[in-house]
Structure 1
Amino acid sequence: MSETIPAWLREEVRQAKKGKERDRIEETGRLLARLGLPTVCDSARCPNRGECFSHSTATFLILGEICTRRCAFCAVQHGRPEGSANAEEPSRLASAVSQLGLSHVVITSVTRDDLPDGGADHYARVVQELRRRCPGVTIEVLVPDFLGFEDSLATVLEAGPDILAHNVETVPRLYRTVRHGADYKRSLSLLRRAKFRMPRIIVKSGFMLGLGEKTDEIEGVLQDLVSVGCDMVTIGQYLAPSLAHVPVNRYVPQQEFEHWQEFGVRLGFRSVASGPLVRSSYKAPHFFREVL
């Protein structure tokens, strides 16, 4: 990470990576490795990995570890995935959820534009297996945009997740620089269609600060998300995974994150998580309980 990171933020990152219970972190890592289950915590180099693993939680990454898109902010590998979805993955994931004793599980994936349905059927199989083997667990899916295909979104929704999340990631002006292959209006449309199809489902999105966005653009994104039916939003500081990724434009002070949290609540979000190390699945069970 750059030496220009403020001292207070370096300390927050250090504490998050260190975690509170070293044995629990290692135990969680061993279990996931034994079951052959990648996590976005590792693949995306999340600064909260230690904290989450110390509480036996993780965000599961399905459909492989190679993404067909090349977003300039993301540490996940990109390229051409080999083969289709692993048929054993839903069962292994359910085993991990059971052994970790999770009450809330977050599932995401790489973007698989190479698959006809974008991996939607595999998402549905994972949700269905969790429903069968882990009754009572609440399920949050953080999905790609499925290239805007209506049937793919419908397949995931019909499996019955409790939360449907899709991140807009940044303001529309920066999409060409930051989100190659994505489209802001397409992302908003997915969120709108999810709420329209299933009004009772909780719809969630998130984005980063520190990429060069302006105040009125942040306000615009929050207003857009409320207008399409988002119940929850997460706002965090962008941290460049390497020198090869888009550089940080600025480090946002805590007071600004607090301002956006208050602004979001006034707009009508049922839950707003806003802070430097907030990520889409940050303390997901806690924020899920806020909207019940």
Structure 2
Amino acid sequence: MDQPKEAEAPRFARKPDWIRVKAPVSREYNETRKMMRELKLHTVCEEAACPNIGECWKQKHATIMILGDTCTRACAFCNVKTGRPMAVDPLEPLHTAEACAAMGLSHIVITSVDRDDLEDGGADQFVRVIEALRAKSPQTTIEILTPDFRNKPGAIEKVAAAKPDVFNHNLETVPRNYPKIRPGARYYHSLRLLDKVKQIDPSIFTKSGIMVGLGEERMEVSQVMDDMRMADIDFITIGQYLQPTPRHTKLDRFVTPDEFKAYERMAKGKGFLMVSATPLTRSSYLAGDDFAKLRAAREAQLNAKAAK
């Protein structure tokens, strides 16, 4: 008797030419990977299966992911593993600063997993990392990409007081998708987080991003942009969602480069200081170059106001 065939795993949609990238094979990539292992650091580049890892690591640019490699949430789009996290590593700030100095970074991006198990959501570790970076590499500008800290009292205030140069927190998608895509978060809480950062310290650049290709409508994206501007967010990133595995949220469609250009024009028209909208845009992709443009845009804005 024939054995029943196993169900075939869902197949991924074939990627169009504009979304394909080269496999990471450079010497610099291997050196960066080796350094992260030696310092016992995690990177979102690896954990989230970023398509730009080969390009970024060839330039020795890596986004450090603090507070371990295990998230306390299970967002349907994210490839970072979920489970019971380990204890916070007290040497992580020092090792992060050592990696930054060794790579000679002029701009560094620090992100983290969600740590809802911690009293402050991990805010204190962000502060310690920022302090270690300032001590070891005082010329390096610091960008943080934080979780929402789940309304932990004082968490946002504590991190903002450490004065990162850029405070990023991603909305990820349009509000309608939250129950399915980001069930552990709340859209308006994420907006209020970034609004509060601006209220605490207007000199800190704020940044947020969304993915497209999740069934969102153009008008919904436009409304998200309006909501961001109401929260005085300076910089928006828009990138293509790529389904990491068959168990993650299914890709709705590949958004064309022309549509990304249209989103870029829309965002600029709404007054963002900086816009990055391409299929391969990610929160930390080319972040150093974008920060230089962001700072120049603010200076031009201030000069224009002074000239009136």
Distance in 2, matches of 1:213 and 1:163, equals 27
Give the structure 2 partner of residue 131 of structure 1.
134
Tell me which of 247, 250, 253 is aligned to 2:250.
247
Structure whose alpha-carbon radius of gyration is higher: 2
Tell me which of 267, 270, 283 is aligned to 1:264.
267
The C-alpha deviation readout for 1:21-54, integer Å capped at 9, x for no partner, is x111111111111111110000000000000000
Query: Contact 1:38–1:62 at 8 Å: present in 2 too?
Result: yes
Distance in 1, matches of 2:69 and 2:183, equals 18
Query: Contact 1:112–1:119 at 8 Å: present in 2 too?
Result: yes
Give the structure 1 partner of residue 72 of structure 2.
68
Distance in 1, matches of 2:163 and 2:132, equals 11
**1:74-89 matches, cutoff 5 A:** 74-83=78-87, 85-89=88-92
**2:21 match: secondary structure:** helix
> What TM-score do you get using the length of structure 1 for normalisation?
0.95
Tell me which of 8, 20, 25 is aligned to 1:13.
20
Give the structure 1 partner of residue 43 of structure 2.
39
**2:144 match: secondary structure:** strand
4+ runs of 1 displaced by more than 4 Å? none
Distance in 2, matches of 1:13 and 1:59, equals 21
Distance in 2, matches of 1:159 and 1:270, equals 23
Q: CA deviation at 1:265?
A: 0.7
**2:210 match: secondary structure:** strand
Question: How many residue pairs get matched?
Answer: 286
Query: Contact 2:143–2:165 at 8 Å: present in 1 too?
Result: yes
Query: Contact 2:93–2:132 at 8 Å: present in 1 too?
Result: yes
Query: Contact 1:5–1:251 at 8 Å: present in 2 too?
Result: no
Distance in 2, matches of 1:179 and 1:137, equals 32
Percent identity over the alignment?
A: 43
Distance in 1, matches of 2:192 and 2:292, equals 26
**2:167 match: secondary structure:** strand
1:156 matched to 2:165? The reply is no
Structure 1 gaps, min length 5: none
The CA RMSD measured in Å over matched residues stands at: 1.2
Distance in 1, matches of 2:273 and 2:70, equals 34
> What TM-score do you get using the length of structure 2 for normalisation?
0.91
Distance in 2, matches of 1:7 and 1:283, equals 22
Give the structure 2 partner of residue 225 of structure 1.
228
Give the structure 1 partner of residue 6 of structure 2.
none
Residue type of the alignment partner of 2:13: T
Query: Contact 1:127–1:159 at 8 Å: present in 2 too?
Result: yes
The C-alpha deviation readout for 1:144-200, integer Å capped at 9, x for no partner, is 001123510011111111000000000000000000210001000001001111111
